[in-house]
Structure formats: structure tokens, C-alpha cells
Amino acid sequence: MITHPDFPAEPWDVRESGLDLGVLAQSESVFALSNGHIGLRGNLDEGEPHALPGTYLNSVFEFRPLPYAEAGYGYPDSGQTVINVTNGKLIRLLVEDEPFDVRYGELVAHERVLSLRDGVLRRTAQWISPSGHGVHVSTTRLVSFTQRATAAIEYEVRPVDGPLHLVLQSELVANEQLPAMSDDPRAAAVLEAPLVPEQHSAHDAHAHLVHSTRQSGRRVGAAMDHLVDCPADVQTFIECTENTARFTLITRLAAGQSLRLVKFLAYGWSSQRSIPGISAQVEAALALARASGWEGLLAEQRAYLDDYWARADVDLEGDQEVQQAVRFALFQVLQASARAERRPIPAKGLTGPGYDGHAFWDTESFVLPVLTYTTPHAAADALRWRHLTLRAARKRARQLTLGGAAFPWRTINGDECSGYWPAGTAAFHINADIADAAIRLADATGDDRFERETGLALLVETARLWTSLGFHHPEGSFRIDGVTGPDEYSALADNNVYTNLMAQRNLRGAVAAARRHPDAAAAMGVDDEEIAAWRRAADEMFVPYDEKLEVHPQAEEFTDHEVWDFAHTRADQYPLLLHFPYFQLYRKQVVKQADLVMALYKCGDAFTADEKARDFAYYEPLTVRDSSLSACVQAVLAAEVGHLDLGYDYLGEAARMDLDDLEHNTGDGLHIASLAGAWIALVAGFGGMRDSGGSLAFAPRLPEPLTRLTFSVMWRGRRLCVNVTGAEATYSLAGGDPLELTHHGRAFALAVGEPVTHPIPSIKIGSRPSQPPGRAPARRWPSPSDSGA
């Protein structure tokens, strides 16, 4: 059994009160700091022990060949892997000749606290060296949200008794030695020594290194400067070689004295700028950080987060674990995206090398729904990144003999990196997911300029993809054959319901956007005939239905397939893809992750309430949740059809994915989409928020243990607050013009200063659907582990 750190359920902190080296990888991911541009894994300051050292810059990657046993036309030749850049987190300590290393001597106390309000990682340790000398170490680390290129560390050490000789070494290290990765195909490939030295320089307490990647042409600069604060004499010197810069401090402290070091770090990269250009860039960032000072950086960080929490916080009563988890989740969503600025939001954010650092449909389908209503500028930036990659997507579409743009299944720079096309290229729904995110963002912000400059092109090019991908069957329907839906345990099926409905939404969104921006659309070559073709394809879109079973098949034929032999599948055979061939998975009724159920959520208007209930009940016993992208969607649908307790269990799974390491791979990086799913489960699930129709609808209803749920959403510049209890929901508006909303299907108007309260209607609940044996979500309530009920 894999253990995980026990983080006590505190509302605003994630606290680890001991140090379990067996779960170091997970804690490095959980305690990672990032602003979406720089990512620092939660490695110990002294570098070792580590599970996986990690310092990442968004979009700094290296190419690697993609090999094929049997190659085929259109297979990508090269992949991309996020690389570990110059490590600036390192501060090593020598206590009377003995390196501070928690594996030796005695670690009397060790605590790490991630403060979700302050946006810093604090660490305190008390250690007795093998020769018996005790020190207190306390450090604080931040990656600045306000100064994109900047990170900083405050490091304080004092003797328990005194006097003690102490040496500190603060370093920049490029091309760190990395441990070998696991055999799990999902774990990232490792590239050794990816950085070619180009420049190194040091003086006083200051140093910088410039490197470039070999193939991808990324030039990376890293710089550090230091402030020293010590009552005793301190000798310092600095040294620098191609791959290592080291600032050394030597002092002798009496009892009660302490040495405090503030380390400012700056990072920059470019595929265009020169060595002097990059050097100057990181020096400028460093100058700004020094000018702000440590306290200034802390204050800016807190102010940035105060502002965020005012918009984004989800406050609830009745479950402290979920409370903590959803705030942790919202913090990580922010860390992954805040300053990504027209760069991708990878599936793991910048918390680890999992999935090679690639971005998937996770971004648009899970992360952007949260950002759209809490941090819309970050959602817009993520879509602007997609817009920047349109050229690559158009080229890929041509290669696939398709029209418009075919966005990659997985990528860093916009080129397809999937080496297994049935679960990559064939998953064309990603194009509709991107279009959908653009539609929802435009609806939520009313940002006409964004739609004209960014959304329209995304919609037009993806609409063109769909009309070339599907065809009008002689009998009248528009069919999309041979594609792969969200469920990765099926592939290459005809008329996947999720794909077809999302394509329909995509086509209609393109029609509407082209009508709203006729000049811009005309400049893209859109004419009335093309718009009519989009409309016709949307109107005739085929949605298969199994008349006998009275459910929607995930795709044609699905419900005729044999049901997976769950009874003879052992618990240790999950995830199934590591123990069974795709061949068997694809041809049977077994669902890795919400697919048809995802359609019930994202395209809910296409289904009646009865259909939703029947469909949900049909797919529950088939869905094994071998993907972290499933539980939150199941939570939403469970809540909608009235299985509130089941939805509550799924909420718990989505929210605690990484804090409880439920998939045993948090060490590779956090599951950013599942974390976003915690918000989705609460707001779309128990808040019942839907936004498909261009306006907001709510149908809140709480599971019994949650006695209150309060959340805000940003809608066209206004903050709408929703406060739900078991009996009623109160809506209030923080500013702007009145708003038309819906509560459980009934429209109402909401004006500033005039909160509206509606009762929550009761719902008739059928029997709780079952899941495959052993695959039910952990029961949260009633449950002995329930800390909040």
C-alpha cells in the first residue's frame, strides 16, 4: 500500500508536520510553487534527498525522436519534453563540517506549510548533526505572481546551542543529475544534460548563467543575488563555472544569533533573443526584485492572492477536508495559469514532468471553465496561446487531408506530439473543446474584442475542420465516423455522442460569431455559403440512440458490445490499461472516464431529464475512473439527477486526488484538471451552474453533510455571489447592471443591493447506481473518516 502524507484539514494551509522520505515525490508536487511561467518543485532547500528535482519554465522543452515499430503516414517524427532548467532553489548548509542532510544525524522536527493566502511555502526544521550540533532552520520560498520572472527564498539558521561554525552555499546548477523515471508509459521521458552552456558570470553576491537547448533553440537565463543579515562576521565569496554558480557564506554564530539570507532569483527564456539580450532580461528582473525587497515581494504576493480569493473562493460548511481541498485546488489552478500569458497550461502545470509537460484538452475542458469565472484574463491568455498555434494546426489539418485547423492532442509548442494516433490524433473533440471554451469565455466576459481577435478564428477554423471531417449521409444525417471520444478505453468509433454534440455546438458558435463579426469573418474567407454549410451540418448532426435500452450509446454500436468482465478483474489490475491490451478495452463496454456523461454535462440541453437519469444510471456500472478527469464530471451529473451522496463522494475524489495521491502518480506532478474539477463539482454540481445558453442558470442542491456552500462567479465584469444552504439559495450581485438568471428552471432578475432568495425544490431520487466492483468512490458520508459532518 502506498502511503501519503497526512495533511490536516485546515482551511487555508496545507501542512506537513513530519518528513516521510517514502512520499517525497508527492510532497514535492504538492508543495510546488509556480506562477504559470516559472515552476519550482517543492524540493528541500539543500537539494537532497529528493525524489525528482524540478525547475521548469513554461514552454522550455526539448525535442526528442518519436520512434515507431511500424511507422505510418502523418505520424509525428518528434516529440517534446519539458526539461529541468537551471536549479536556483539550492541553499546548502554545513554545520561544523557536516552537510545538513535529513538522512543523517537526527531530525528533531520538520514542518512544511503551504500558505494558500500568502502564496508561500514555509519550512522549519530542527536538526542535530551526527556530531551532535543542533540547528534551527527556517525558510520561506515564493514564486512571485506579480513579478513574473522572479522567485525568492528567505533562509534563516541559528544554533540550538552555540557557538557553531556554519557555511551556506547558495547555488545555480544547470544540467542536474536526474533519477531514472518509471516504466509507466504515462511518466515522462527524461533528457540528460539538455542545456548547452553559453555564458556565466559572477561578482559579489551575484551570478548568472545562460544556456541553450540543443534542438529546440530555447535560450535560458538564470540569475541570483543575495542579501545577508547576520550579527556575526560573515565571510562571503562567489564562484562560477559553466554549469554552476555558488555564493558561499562562512560564519560562526553564538547561541541566540542567527544568519539570514535572502536569495532573489530571476529566470528568462527566449527562442529569439541573443545572449546579451537574455542576460539583460534576467538582470532587469533581478534589479526589480531587489528594489521590491523580500518584504515587498511578500506583500505583493498577499495582495495578489487577496484579490484572487475575493473573486474565486469557495467557502463551505460541513466538510473541512473538502474546504481545504477546493482552496488548494483553486490555488493550484491559479499557479498553473496566472502568468502563463499566451503559453500553454500543461496537464501538470509546472509542478512536475508528467505527460512530458504537455497540454491536452484538460486545459479547455476543465481548467478554463474555472478561470472563465474567476480569472478570465488567464482564460483568455490560454486561448490566445491556442490562437498563436493556429498555423501549426492548419498545417496538421492539411497533412490529415482535412480543412480548417486540427489542434494537437498533446503539445507544448503547438505541434502534435502524440505517438499513438488512435488515442491522439483521432480524438478530434479537442477542437470542439477549444471552440467551446472560446464561446463560454465570450459569453461570460462579453469581451467583443477577444471574440473578434481570438475567438472568431478559433471557431471558424474548427468549424471548417468539422465540415471536412463529417459528411452528409444519403439518408440525411451528418455523420462523424472513426473518431475517439474522451473515453480512452474506446477508440475509432462512429458518431461519438460527445464529439458530435460538441461539434454541433462548435458549428453553431461559428455561425453566431461570424454573424456578429461579418467583416472579420469575411477577411477569413467566410461567406454565406460556408455559414449555411456549418448550419446544415449542425442541424443534421447525427446523435445515435439505443431504442431498445432507451439510452444513448457512447458511440454507435457501443451498447451492443460485450460488457467488461468486471467480476473477474482484480483490484490490482487497475488501471486497466496497464494490465490489459487496448484491443480488449476498445471492443467492450468499459469506460475509462466520463464520455457520454461528459456530454450530459457540457451539452445538457440536448437531453431530457429522464434521458440524463437513464444514461447516468447506465454508464455508472461501466465507468472505472482510470482517469483523473472523470470523478468531477460524474459528481456534476450525480448531483443533477439527484444522487447527492454519490456526487459528494465523487467531489471528494476529485478534490483530494493529489492531497491523498489517489492515482499514486502525484509525484510526477499535480492533476491540474482534476483539481479544477473540485470547483466544477461544487459549482456546477451542487451549485448546479450551467452556462450553455449564453446566460447563467443555477439548480443548487446540497448533499446532507454540506450545510452551506458559498461561491462567486464573474459575469461580464460583475461579481455574482451564490450562497446555498439545504433549504434555500441566495443570489447577490456586487456591482453593475441587473442580471437575468435562472434558479431551478425559473428565470429571475437580480440587481445590485437586492439579494434574492429562492427555496430549493425537493427531488425524487432513484436507487443509487452501482459502480464496477471495487471502483465505487470512497464513501465520505456517513464515514468514519468524515471530519466535517
| Residues assigned a catalytic role | 488
- Closer residue to a second copy, CB minimum distance, 229 or 562: 562
Q: Is 742 in the site for a second copy (CB under 8 A)?
A: no
Please report, as residue ranges, which positions from 417 to 456 form the binding site for a second copy (by CB under 8 A): 418-426
- Is 592 annotated among the ligand-binding residues? yes
Q: How far is the CB of 489 from a second copy (least distance, A)?
A: 11
Q: Is 557 in the site for a second copy (CB under 8 A)?
A: yes
Q: How far apart are CA 431 and CA 646, in angstroms?
A: 31
- Closer residue to a second copy, CB minimum distance, 187 or 657: 187
- Closer residue to a second copy, CB minimum distance, 333 or 423: 423
- Closer residue to a second copy, CB minimum distance, 115 or 500: 500
At what angle are helices 456-469 and 376-388 packed, to 10 degrees?
50
Please report, as residue ranges, which positions from 461 to 500 form the binding site for a second copy (by CB under 8 A): 471, 473, 479, 481-483, 491-492, 494
Q: Is 66 in the site for a second copy (CB under 8 A)?
A: yes
Q: Which of 1, 70, 192, 727 binds a second copy (CB under 8 A)?
A: 70
- Closer residue to a second copy, CB minimum distance, 315 or 481: 481
- Is 348 annotated among the ligand-binding residues? no
- Closer residue to a second copy, CB minimum distance, 65 or 755: 65
- Closer residue to a second copy, CB minimum distance, 583 or 764: 583
Look up residue 401 and give its DSSP letter: T
Q: In whole angstroms, how far apart are CA 71 and each of 66, 157, 405, 414, 416? A: 10, 57, 24, 22, 15
The dihedral formed by the CA atoms of 271, 277, 282 and 286, expressed in degrees to the nearest 10: -160
x-or-dash string of contact with a second copy, 15-54, rule CB under 8 A: ----------------------------------------
Q: How far is the CB of 589 from a second copy (least distance, A)?
A: 10
Q: How far is the CB of 557 from a second copy (least distance, A)?
A: 5
Q: How far is the CB of 81 from a second copy (least distance, A)?
A: 12
Ramachandran bin of 245, using left for φ above 0, alpha for ψ from -120 to 50, beta for the remaining angles = beta
- Closer residue to a second copy, CB minimum distance, 368 or 406: 406
Q: How far apart are CA 423 and CA 429, in angstroms?
A: 11
End-to-end CA distance of the chain: 27
Q: How far is the CB of 71 from a second copy (least distance, A)?
A: 5
Q: How far apart are CA 41 and CA 352, in angstroms?
A: 7
Q: How far is the CB of 473 from a second copy (least distance, A)?
A: 7
- Closer residue to a second copy, CB minimum distance, 465 or 641: 465
Q: In whole angstroms, how far apart are CA 129 and each of 50, 138, 166, 256, 501? A: 19, 16, 12, 18, 64
Q: Is 560 in the site for a second copy (CB under 8 A)?
A: yes
Residues 30 and 659: beta-carbon distance below 8 Å: yes
Residues 658 and 671: beta-carbon distance below 8 Å: yes
Q: How far is the CB of 564 from a second copy (least distance, A)?
A: 11
Q: Which of 659, 634, 618, 602 has the alpha carbon at shortest distance from 776?
A: 634
x-or-dash string of contact with a second copy, 382-401, rule CB under 8 A: -----------------xxx
Q: How far is the CB of 609 from a second copy (least distance, A)?
A: 27
Q: How far apart are CA 717 and CA 739, in angstroms?
A: 12
Q: How far is the CB of 292 from a second copy (least distance, A)?
A: 45
Interface segment toward a second copy; rule CB under 8 A; list 40-48, 571-579, 641-649, 669-677? 571-579
Interface segment toward a second copy; rule CB under 8 A; list 134-142, 241-249, 554-562, 617-625? 554-562
Interface segment toward a second copy; rule CB under 8 A; list 31-39, 61-69, 136-144, 511-519? 61-69
Q: With CB under 8 A, what is the number of residues at the site for a second copy?
A: 50
Q: Count Cβ atoms below 10 Å from residue 62 Cβ, excluding itself.
A: 21
Q: Which of 68, 104, 237, 748 binds a second copy (CB under 8 A)?
A: 68
Q: How far is the CB of 477 from a second copy (least distance, A)?
A: 9
Q: In whole angstroms, how far apart are CA 531 and each of 147, 438, 481? A: 44, 18, 22
Residues 300 and 292: beta-carbon distance below 8 Å: yes
Q: Is 567 in the site for a second copy (CB under 8 A)?
A: no
Cis ω before 369 (30° cut-off from 0): no
HSE, CB side, 13 Å, CA atoms: give it for residue 615. 31
Look up residue 389 and give its DSSP letter: T
Q: In whole angstroms, how far apart are CA 574 and each of 371, 420, 489? A: 32, 21, 13
- Sign of the Cα torsion 481, 482, 484, 488 reads positive
Q: Is 162 in the site for a second copy (CB under 8 A)?
A: no
Q: Edge to edge, what strands does the sheet with 150-159 contain?
A: 13-16, 106-115, 120-128, 134-143, 150-159, 259-270, 219-229, 206-213, 195-203
Q: Which of 5, 54, 79, 404 binds a second copy (CB under 8 A)?
A: 79
- Is 593 annotated among the ligand-binding residues? yes
Please report, as residue ranges, which positions from 657 to 716 form the binding site for a second copy (by CB under 8 A): none
- Is 361 annotated among the ligand-binding residues? yes
Q: Is 192 in the site for a second copy (CB under 8 A)?
A: no
Q: Which of 580, 721, 725, 730 binds a second copy (CB under 8 A)?
A: 580
Strands 588-589 and 562-563: parallel
x-or-dash string of contact with a second copy, 301-320, rule CB under 8 A: --------------------
Strand intervals (E) in 473-526:
478-479
- Closer residue to a second copy, CB minimum distance, 669 or 703: 669
Residue 198 makes CB contacts below 8 A (sequence gap 6+) with 210, 211, 212, 219, 275
Q: Which of 11, 49, 132, 185 binds a second copy (CB under 8 A)?
A: 185
Q: Count Cβ atoms below 10 Å from residue 94 Cβ, excluding itself.
A: 17
HSE, CB side, 13 Å, CA atoms: give it for residue 228. 21
Interface segment toward a second copy; rule CB under 8 A; list 75-83, 98-106, 343-351, 508-516? 75-83
- Closer residue to a second copy, CB minimum distance, 75 or 304: 75
Cell 461519438 belongs to residue: 496
Cis ω before 782 (30° cut-off from 0): yes
Q: Is 587 in the site for a second copy (CB under 8 A)?
A: yes
- Provide the grid cell at 391: 498555423
| SS3 category, 633 | helix
Q: How far is the CB of 418 from a second copy (least distance, A)?
A: 7
Q: Is 578 in the site for a second copy (CB under 8 A)?
A: yes
Which residues would be at the binding site for a second copy (CB under 8 A)?
A: 66-76, 79, 185, 399-401, 418-426, 471, 473, 479, 481-483, 491-492, 494, 556-557, 560-562, 577-584, 586-588
Binding residues: 361-362, 592-593
Binding residues for substrate: 361-362, 592-593
